[in-house]
Amino acid sequence: MTDRDTLIEQARAAAAKAYAPYSNFHVGAALAFADGSVVTGANVENASYGMTLCAETVAVGKALSEEWRGPLEAVAVIAGKAGQVGLGEPVSPCGRCRQMLYEVAALGASDPVVWCAGEHEVLEMKLSDLLPRAFGPEALE
């Protein structure tokens, strides 16, 4: 079983590598697979602001493009202004990222726990709570 605090620290390390010169808001995400593998991502902004990629989306892109297909067990997300990552309220994945995460989860037929780390609390939710009645690959069968 994935250790919560270890995964949060991996997300924190990822956030330190964010490319976010426009918002100055750094986000890190860590995806833990059932075989013990962890894939991380950080947000990647662009001078054309709307092209920004969220940390969770980057992590999903890395995972799928590296052929991770096993059950996704857990996701950790941490965020904050540069130098203050994890020091505010927990931040939960945006709507697009929930959908991106669902794709990986569906491939492995899992419903991962999502930990959103803040200064004083870690929110714990299931992906199915964040994205009920999700649209996924099974709909296209």
Q: Kindly list the residues in this chain that would bind ligand THU in the complex (CB under 6 A).
A: 20, 23, 25, 27, 43, 45, 52, 54-56, 93-94, 97
Least distance (Å) from ligand THU to the CB of residue 135?
Answer: 19
Phi and psi at 93, nearest 5°, equal: -60, 140
- Which helix (H) or strand (E) covers residue 27, if one does? strand 25-33
> Which tokens go with 94?
């945006």
Greatest Cα-to-Cα distance within the chain, rounded to the nearest angstrom: 46
Least distance (Å) from ligand THU to the CB of residue 35?
Answer: 25
Which of the residues 9, 45, 56, 141 is marked catalytic?
56
Question: Which of 14/38 has CB closer to ligand THU?
Answer: 14
Q: Catalytic site residues?
A: 56
